[in-house]
Amino acid sequence: MNKLDAEEKEILEAFESGKLKPVKNRSRELARHRKVAAATFTKDSRINIRISSKDLRALQKRALAEGLPYQTLVSSVLHKFVEGQMVEQPAGKGLQRPS
């Protein structure tokens, strides 16, 4: 099994101990969650930015290593930052996940 973080372990333990209860109107809840998920990942706006060619090459190299288009990588990093999943660190440390 993959390594689980603390939150995932808590969920797994609750599931295994029977503490989790099914939601009422399961099909309606699934439909609602699907709608929210689809809206979250809909790319309906465009931006143009100017960055150094060095940074662009580094982004493209990183995206290639990850197996995805560099625009997708940039979009993912920006999304994580605005959602608070990445926070700015003191000078020289860059962006990191919150602890």
Gyration radius of the chain's alpha carbons:
19
Report pTM: 0.52
Domain count, the chain: 2
In a domain, 32, yes or no: yes
Please check the confidence at residue 29 and state whether its pLDDT lies above 90.
yes
In a domain, 75, yes or no: yes
> One-letter amino acid identity for 87?
V
Supply the range of the domain harboring residue 73: 68-99
3-class SS at 9? helix
In a domain, 33, yes or no: yes
pLDDT at position 67: 93
| Nearest residue to 88 via CA among 68, 80, 40 | 80
In a domain, 15, yes or no: yes
Max avg pLDDT among 40-44, 52-56, 76-80: 52-56
Phi, psi of 23 (to 5 degrees): -80, 155
